Chains A and B, each alone.
Chain A
Amino acid sequence: MVPPATFTSYYGRPVVKPSPWQADIPAYLFLGGLAGASSMLAAGAAATGRPALRRTGRLGALGAISLGFAALIHDLGRPERFLKMLRVAKPTSPMSVGTWILTAYGPLAGVAAAGDLADLLPGRLTRLGAPLRALAAPAGIGAAALGGGVASYTAVLLANTATPAWHEARRELPFVFIGSAAASAGGLGMLGAPVAQAGPARRLAAGGVAVEYVAARRMRDSMGITAEALHSGRVGRLMSASRALDIAGAAAGLVLGRRSRVIATLSGAALLAGAGCLRVAVFEAGQQSARDPRYTVVPQRQRVELRAAGQPVDNQTSTRLCS
């Protein structure tokens, strides 16, 4: 069915409200993905004797999750009431689930990084490193085990809303996000570790970009008219930039990154920038789709008309049936 060209609205005003979230939230989406996948890279590096890659992953994960945590608190309307998050645990609230994932993950990422942090301290303070390093390996494995949750729950956080471009992206968005997370963590590994140790980072980045590319293509086809919000205008240019940076960074890193630290550094930076563009694009696409009543009214009107015509309407696949 072709979506109707016209639709009715109340003076063109939005039906649903865009989230009140500011730049903190796309920043957190990026940082959370970077942290989760970096913990995995660090655990693998620790297990296979790649100290520089391990250090990059652990410090990167701790830095990213700390900044991300600060961004989450800063975005609250009443930041001083942050701890109210810990009075309940609700599986129906992805934000509650995410809070508890972070509550477990954050300290593990911190302990895993503490030994490597101590090494950065001057002089005699490095003695503190020994006991911390003993705890680092198990903590690092714990952080890696939770890293997938840290990197993927944010997709559900966005999709579990009435924001059209987020909800209609719900099937593929977790895979777009974990692909982007892998690409960014691989990019950070290529930036921080010498080329001899960064092989897994190059491969993780390339795999992540491939998954993200395929998932984003499928998502575009399954989002119905809300795909417009993600693929046109300024947001569409951000998506194109993300794809170009990702592919260039992953390919150059894989082919030339093993020989040249300069190219590895540039590739890593491109991958991080690509992941950042993607998160901003997905976030802004949702905000825009909420501000335009077309994205809310047209798919719902189609469902009503299909139902009136006696055709089966499955909310899970409504836009696929209609597009």
Chain B
Amino acid sequence: MSTAFVGPLDAARGAGWQDPPPRKGFFTDTSLCIGCKACEVACKEWNHVPEDGLSMLGSSYDNTGGLGASTWRHVAFIEQRKPMRTVPMLNGGSGVGLTAAAAASGASDFRWLMSSDVCKHCTQAACLDVCPTGALMRTELGTVVVQDDICNGCGYCVPACPFGVIERRDGDAATVPNGGIAQKCTLCYDRIGDGMLPACAQACPTESIQFGDLDELRERAQRRVGSLHADGVSDARLYGENPNDGIGGAGAFFLLLDEPEVYGLPPDPVVTTRDLPAMWRGAALAGASLLAGAVASFIGQRQ
């Protein structure tokens, strides 16, 4: 399979940056999330993201629904009749997901999964690949950002994203900020370029949202999975940290406690552009077939 159309694994260098700084990213450790939604609020405030619905959705404590043009952090809530630990704790443990009483007794048949979702800032980003204006760009920090003054709202990035993250913001540009163009998490490009934490990570009270150099975050995440497994939380697994996955690894990856689809994440996302060389060959053959058919329809014909 040709991979000529798929970006290299060094995101910033592959986009033409020379001597870029270390790639930045998020490690969202959902085993530490308490569902406070401080990240959602902080993101909205810092990025001037408009209100996008105030309805009751009937999904535990989640009335946000999902990521979109005006939701760049989304906290998912899943209530499960299932013990957090599938094997007994070996030591004092990390106390994950347990009330004080349950932790003391060492058992509970209920767990409440909470996870703060965000743009994955893919190494091989479909939104960036398909953008026809170049409005979506790879920053020197390896993140994927929409340039608001260039996007013309064609909407192609929306169906291209395998995670359903990026979206065109409804509304007239005269009344809605950035109305009519594609919007998503910038990984707080304006903050991290100045040495600050992204707004969500800054606001997170439990350090469930960790920001830093991607290489270091990956090592930290591996250690965390190891310690959770040792604590008996055998469901713990990383999502999006593997550079050999279908998107070349995510710049924002997660520690999950159940299958990805439980949280609304795709179990095996693949950047669509991987199949594009074969698709172009098919289209070229089809176009040539049409021409041949048109020529043939005139052969041997008399008026």
A residues near B (Cβ < 8 Å) are 7-11, 13-21, 36-37, 40-41, 43-44, 47-50, 75-79, 81-82, 84-85, 87-88, 90-96, 99, 144-145, 147-149, 151-153, 155-157, 159-163, 166-167, 170-171, 174-175, 177-178, 181-182, 186, 196-197, 199-201, 203-204, 207-208, 211, 286, 290, 293, 296-297, 300-301, 303-304, 315-316
Contact = CB atoms under 8 A, between A and B. Distances in A.
15 contacts: A13-B65, A13-B264, A48-B301, A75-B154, A77-B152, A92-B130, A94-B130, A151-B286, A156-B279, A160-B272, A162-B269, A174-B286, A175-B289, A207-B296, A303-B267
Contacts of B1: 316
Interface of B: 1, 5, 57-59, 62, 65-66, 68, 76, 78, 126, 129-135, 150-156, 158-164, 166-169, 173, 179-182, 246, 259, 261-270, 272-276, 278-280, 282-291, 293-298, 301-303
Given A95-B132, A152-B283, A167-B272, A77 B180 contact: yes
Contacts of B259: 8
Contacts of B162: 16, 162
A216 B153 CA distance: 32
* 10 closest cross-chain pairs (CB), A and B: A77-B153, A148-B287, A10-B264, A77-B180, A174-B286, A81-B152, A40-B294, A300-B268, A96-B132, A95-B132
A13 B62 CA distance: 12
Contact of A78 (B180, B268, B284): B180
Contact of A181 (B134, B181, B290): B290
B264 to A, nearest CB: 3
B129 A93 contact: yes
Given A88-B133, A178-B290, A207-B293, A162 B301 contact: no
B239 to A, nearest CB: 12
B294 A82 contact: no
A110 B253 CA distance: 51
Given A11-B59, A13-B66, A88-B134, A151 B154 contact: no
Given A78-B173, A160-B272, A297 B158 contact: no
Contact of B280 (A84, A90, A156): A156
Contacts of A147: 287, 290-291, 294
Given A175-B282, A296-B266, 20 more contacts: A8-B261, A9-B261, A10-B263, A13-B65, A13-B264, A16-B159, A17-B158, A17-B159, A77-B152, A77-B153, A144-B291, A148-B286, A149-B283, A152-B287, A160-B273, A161-B272, A170-B279, A174-B286, A175-B289, A199-B302
B303 A301 contact: no
A186 to B, nearest CB: 8
A300 B266 contact: yes
Given A44-B298, A93-B132, A15 B159 contact: no
Contacts of A7: 261
Contacts of A207: 293, 296-297
A168 B88 CA distance: 44
Contacts of B268: 300-301, 303-304
Given A11-B59, A94-B130, A178-B286, A159 B279 contact: yes
Contacts of A88: 132-134
A196 B163 CA distance: 55
A159 B81 CA distance: 40
A7 B150 CA distance: 40
Nearest to B274: A315
Contacts of A76: 152-155, 180
A50 B167 CA distance: 49
Nearest to A189: B297
A44 B286 contact: no
A204 B294 contact: yes
A166 to B, nearest CB: 8
Nearest to B263: A10
Contacts of B298: 44, 47-48, 200
A316 B284 CA distance: 18
B160 A161 contact: yes
